[in-house]
C-alpha cells in the first residue's frame, strides 16, 4: 500500500520581496512618527526622576508625597461610595414610585367604569374563566345609570373551534358574548412604508393572516343599534376593561382601522385613559389593565408574567410553574423536543434547538425562558382550557339581573355575527393545542388595606398549590 504524502505550501519568499516589505514598514512608521511630531503627540511618557539621594530632607519629602497619594485615593473612594449611594437611592425611589403607581391604575379603571354607559370586559379565549374578575363585574352592576356589561372573547384563532363554541354557549348564559379576532398588523395612519418588489410567499401568508380581523362588523353593528335605541342624544361611551395583555388596545385599533392606541406583547403598555371615536355616536375608552395582587396562586401569576416583571420571581420559576399545569407530551409535540425530566432540562433543550447560546456554546436558559413566557402571553402559542361541566350563576348574579343585562341587545344579531366569525377564522386543530388547567375565576379585594394584609405564601408546598384552584386578583375601586 502506497501512502501519498502531500507537501504543504512553503512560506519562503525571495530576499528582494522580504527587503521590500521591511522597507515599506519602515517608511510607514517614519511617516506616522513625523505626523505625531507635528501634532505634538509623543508616545514616550516622561519618567519621574524621583528624589535624588543627595537632596536634603529626602525622607520628609517622600513622606509628604505618600500622604498626598493616600489623600487622593481616599477622595476617589469617597466619590465612588457617594455615586453608589446615589444609585441605591434612585432605585429605592423608582421602587416606591412603582408601588404607588398601582393605586392610580386602579383609580383609572374605576373612572372608566363611572364614565361608561357600556363596559366591555375583554377575555382571552385561551383562558376565559381566568380572565374574569367577579368584583369588577359586581362593581359594574352596582353602579348607577343602568350600565350594561358585554363580554368579548378575543384571540379565538388560538383555540380549537369546538372549544370556542362551548365557551360562547357557557358565557352567554350570563352576559352577551361576541367572538373576536383582532388584527395584529395595524400600522399608524401617517406611517408610509416602502413596499419591496420581492417578498417571500410565507411572509405574505403570515401577514395576511395577522392583518385579518373578524367580529369587527358584528361588534360595531351591535353598539350602533344599542346607541340608536337609547333616548339620550349624547355619544355612547364604551369602556374597555380587562387584565393586561388580553387585547384591549388591539380591539380598539381593529375597530378604528388604524393604530390609535399603543399595543404589544409587553404587559402594561397602556398607562392612562384614552378616548377613541369609532363612529359618530360611539366612543371607546381604553384603560390600563387590572391590578393583580401578589397573593395570587403561582400558576395565574406566572401565566401573566406579573411577578417576573415586578422582580419578585425569576423566569425559571415561572416556567416551572407553567409546565406543572400542562401535559408533558403536548409540550414535547408543540416544541418538537425529546422527553425532559424537569424545567431546567426543557429550557436547555429549547435553547439548543433555537440557537440561544452564550460564550463557549453554553445554552442560555434565561433567554429561552423569556421567549417561552412571551409565547404564552402573546399570540403565538395555542392552548385551551376546558369548559366547566356544571355551570351555575355567581352569587352577584340572578335570573332577573341576567335578563336585565341582555335587555336592549339584539341577541339574534349577536348569534348570527358569531356564526359568521367562526366560519371565517382558521382555527388550530385539537392535537396542536396544549390543554391547560384553568385556575378558575378571579376574586378581588376592594379595600386598599387588604392588599398589605394579603402577602404571598412563599412556604406553600406543591400539593397546596395544586389544591388551591382559585385565582385571587386585587382591584381597587
Over residues 445-461, mean pLDDT: 44
Over residues 420-435, mean pLDDT: 87
Judge whether residue 472 has pLDDT over 50. no
Q: Work out the angle at residue 392's Cα, subtended by the Cα atoms of residues 388 and 394, and round it to the nearest 5 degrees.
A: 115
What is the rounded end-to-end Cα distance, in angstroms, of the chain? 91
- Convert the pLDDT of each residue in 344-353 to its tens digit: 999 999 999 9
In this structure, of 148-162, 197-211, 288-302, the range with the lowest mean pLDDT score is 197-211
Smallest CA-to-CA distance from 368 within 339, 341, 325, 335 is with 335
C-alpha cell recorded at residue 134: 367577579
pLDDT at 19: 96
- Convert the pLDDT of each residue in 11-40 to its tens digit: 889 999 999 999 999 999 999 989 888 887
C-alpha cell recorded at residue 129: 374563566
pLDDT at 436: 82
Judge whether residue 201 has pLDDT over 60. no
pLDDT at 105: 53
pLDDT at 447: 39
Unique residue bearing C-alpha cell 374563566: 129
C-alpha cell recorded at residue 269: 403598555
Q: What is the mean pLDDT of the chain?
A: 77
pLDDT at 104: 47
290, 134 in Cβ contact below 8 A? no
Distance between CA atoms of residues 395 and 138, nearest Å:
10
pTM over 0.85: no
Q: What is the 3-state secondary structure (H, E, C) of 408-452?
A: CCCHHHHHHHHHHHHHHCCCCCCCCCEEECCCCCEECCCCHHHHH
Q: What is the H or E stretch that residue 123 is in?
A: strand 118-124
Where does the pLDDT of residue 117 fall: very low under 50, low under 70, confident under 90, or very high at 90 and above?
confident
356, 364 in Cβ contact below 8 A? yes
Between 80 and 303, name the one with better pLDDT: 80
Where does the pLDDT of residue 432 fall: very low under 50, low under 70, confident under 90, or very high at 90 and above?
confident
Over residues 274-288, mean pLDDT: 81
Judge whether residue 368 has pLDDT over 80. yes
Judge whether residue 456 has pLDDT over 50. no
Between 237 and 229, name the one with better pLDDT: 237
127, 303 in Cβ contact below 8 A? yes
Beta strand segments in 8-111, E: none
Distance between CA atoms of residues 379 and 387, nearest Å:
21
Unique residue bearing C-alpha cell 543627595: 54
148, 177 in Cβ contact below 8 A? no
Where does the pLDDT of residue 226 fall: very low under 50, low under 70, confident under 90, or very high at 90 and above?
confident
CATH 3.40.50.300 assigned to 100-189+202-293+387-427+439-461:
yes
21-30, 312-321, 454-463: which has the highest mean pLDDT? 21-30
pLDDT at 428: 87
DSSP 115: H
Compute the half-sphere exposure of residue 430: CA atoms within 13 Å on the CB side of its CA: 5
Angle between helices 58-100 and 102-115 (to 10 degrees): 20
Distance between CA atoms of residues 184 and 253, nearest Å:
9
Over residues 435-447, mean pLDDT: 64
Q: How many CB atoms lie within 10 A of CB 275?
A: 12
pLDDT at 187: 56
Over residues 218-246, mean pLDDT: 82
Beta-ladder partners of 177? 151
Where does the pLDDT of residue 71 fall: very low under 50, low under 70, confident under 90, or very high at 90 and above?
very high
pLDDT at 29: 94
Where does the pLDDT of residue 448 fall: very low under 50, low under 70, confident under 90, or very high at 90 and above?
very low
What are residue 247's phi and psi, to 5 degrees? 105, 35
Where does the pLDDT of residue 194 fall: very low under 50, low under 70, confident under 90, or very high at 90 and above?
very low
Judge whether residue 132 has pLDDT over 70. yes
340, 346 in Cβ contact below 8 A? yes
Between 6 and 33, name the one with better pLDDT: 33
Over residues 154-170, mean pLDDT: 90
267, 376 in Cβ contact below 8 A? no
Amino acid at each position: 500500500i502506497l501512502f501519498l504524502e502531500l507537501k504543504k505550501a512553503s512560506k519562503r519568499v525571495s530576499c528582494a520581496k522580504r527587503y521590500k516589505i521591511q522597507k515599506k514598514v519602515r517608511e510607514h512608521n517614519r511617516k506616522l512618527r513625523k505626523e505625531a511630531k507635528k501634532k505634538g503627540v509623543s508616545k514616550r511618557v516622561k519618567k519621574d526622576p524621583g528624589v535624588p539621594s543627595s537632596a536634603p530632607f529626602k525622607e520628609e519629602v517622600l513622606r509628604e508625597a505618600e500622604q498626598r497619594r493616600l489623600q487622593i485615593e481616599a477622595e476617589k473612594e469617597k466619590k465612588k461610595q457617594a455615586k453608589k449611594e446615589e444609585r441605591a437611592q434612585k432605585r429605592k425611589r423608582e421602587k416606591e414610585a412603582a408601588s404607588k403607581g398601582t393605586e392610580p391604575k386602579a383609580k383609572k379603571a374605576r373612572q372608566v367604569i363611572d364614565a361608561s354607559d357600556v363596559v366591555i370586559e375583554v377575555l382571552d379565549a385561551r383562558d376565559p374563566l381566568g380572565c374574569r374578575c367577579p368584583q369588577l363585574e359586581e362593581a359594574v352592576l352596582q353602579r348607577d345609570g343602568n350600565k350594561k356589561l358585554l363580554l368579548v372573547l378575543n384571540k379565538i384563532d388560538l383555540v380549537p373551534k369546538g372549544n370556542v363554541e362551548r365557551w360562547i354557549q357557557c358565557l352567554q348564559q350570563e352576559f352577551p358574548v361576541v367572538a373576536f379576532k383582532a388584527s395584529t398588523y395595524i400600522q399608524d395612519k401617517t406611517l408610509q412604508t416602502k413596499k419591496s418588489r420581492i417578498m417571500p410567499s410565507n411572509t405574505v401568508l403570515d401577514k395576511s393572516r395577522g392583518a385579518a380581523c373578524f367580529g369587527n362588523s358584528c361588534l360595531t353593528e351591535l353598539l350602533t343599534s344599542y346607541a340608536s335605541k337609547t333616548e339620550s342624544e349624547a355619544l355612547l361611551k364604551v369602556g374597555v376593561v380587562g387584565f393586561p395583555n388580553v387585547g384591549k388596545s388591539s380591539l380598539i385599533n381593529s375597530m378604528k382601522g388604524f393604530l390609535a392606541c399603543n399595543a404589544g406583547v409587553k404587559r402594561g403598555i397602556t398607562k392612562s385613559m384614552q378616548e377613541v371615536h369609532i363612529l359618530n355616536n360611539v366612543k371607546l375608552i381604553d384603560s390600563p389593565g387590572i391590578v393583580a395582587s401578589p397573593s395570587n396562586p403561582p400558576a395565574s401569576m406566572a401565566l401573566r408574567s406579573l411577578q417576573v416583571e415586578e422582580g419578585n420571581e425569576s423566569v425559571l420559576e415561572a416556567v416551572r410553574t407553567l409546565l406543572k399545569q400542562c401535559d408533558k407530551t403536548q409540550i414535547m409535540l408543540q416544541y418538537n423536543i425529546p422527553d425532559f425530566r424537569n424545567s431546567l432540562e426543557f429550557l436547555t433543550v429549547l435553547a439548543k434547538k433555537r440557537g440561544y447560546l452564550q460564550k463557549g456554546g453554553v445554552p442560555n436558559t434565561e433567554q429561552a425562558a423569556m421567549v417561552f413566557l412571551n409565547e404564552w402571553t402573546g399570540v403565538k402559542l395555542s392552548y385551551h382550557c376546558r369548559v366547566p361541566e356544571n355551570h351555575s350563576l355567581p352569587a352577584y348574579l340572578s335570573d332577573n339581573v341576567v335578563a336585565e343585562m341582555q335587555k336592549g341587545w339584539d341577541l339574534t344579531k349577536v348569534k348570527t355575527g358569531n356564526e359568521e366569525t367562526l366560519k371565517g377564522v382558521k382555527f388550530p386543530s385539537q392535537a396542536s393545542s396544549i390543554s391547560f388547567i384553568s385556575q378558575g375565576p378571579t376574586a378581588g379585594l376592594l379595600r386598599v388595606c387588604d392588599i398589605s394584609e394579603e402577602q404571598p405564601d412563599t412556604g406553600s408546598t406543591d400539593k397546596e398549590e395544586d389544591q388551591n384552584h382559585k385565582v385571587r386578583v386585587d382591584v381597587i375601586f
